[in-house]
Structure 1
Amino acid sequence: MLGKYSYTADSLKKVIKLAVINSISHKDLVDWCEGFLQENSKDTSISINRSKNKKAIMVALDIENQWELYLSNTYTFEELQKLEQKEVKMPKQWLEEWDNSIQ
Structure 2
Amino acid sequence: MLEKYGYTPDSLKKVIKLAVIDSISHKDLVDWCENYLQETSKDTSISVNRRLNKKAIMVALDIENQWELYLSNTYTFEELQKLEQKEVKMPKEWLMEWDNSIQ
Q: TM-score, normalised by structure 2?
A: 0.95
Structure holding more helix per residue: 2
Does the C-alpha gap of structure 1 residues 99 and 52 become closer, same or farther in structure 2, counting only changes over 3 Å?
farther
Cα distance in 2 for partners of 1:39, 1:51 equals 16
Structure 2 residue aligned with 1:101: 101
Partners of 1:52 and 1:69 in 2: how far apart? 27
Q: Which deviations, in whole Å up to 9, do the C-alpha atoms of 1:35-81 show, x marking residues without a partner?
A: 0000000022212xx44411000000000000000000000000000
The amino acid that maps onto 2:7 is Y
Which ranges of structure 2 fall in alignment gaps of 5 or more residues?
none
What is the match of residue 16 of structure 2?
Answer: 16
Specify the alignment match of 2:27 in structure 1: 27
Structure-1 separation of matches of 2:30 and 2:3:
14
Go from structure 1 to structure 2 and tell me whether the alpha carbon gap of 1:52 and 1:96 turns closer, same or farther (over 3 Å shift).
farther
> Alignment length, in residue pairs?
101
Unaligned runs of 5+ in 1: none
Which residue in 1 is equivalent to 2:44? 44
Q: % of aligned pairs identical?
A: 87
**CA distance in structure 1 between the partners assigned to 2:26 and 2:51 by the alignment:** 26
The aligned amino acid for 1:60 is: A
Matching of residue 4 in structure 1 with residue 11 in structure 2: no
Q: TM-score, normalised by structure 1?
A: 0.95
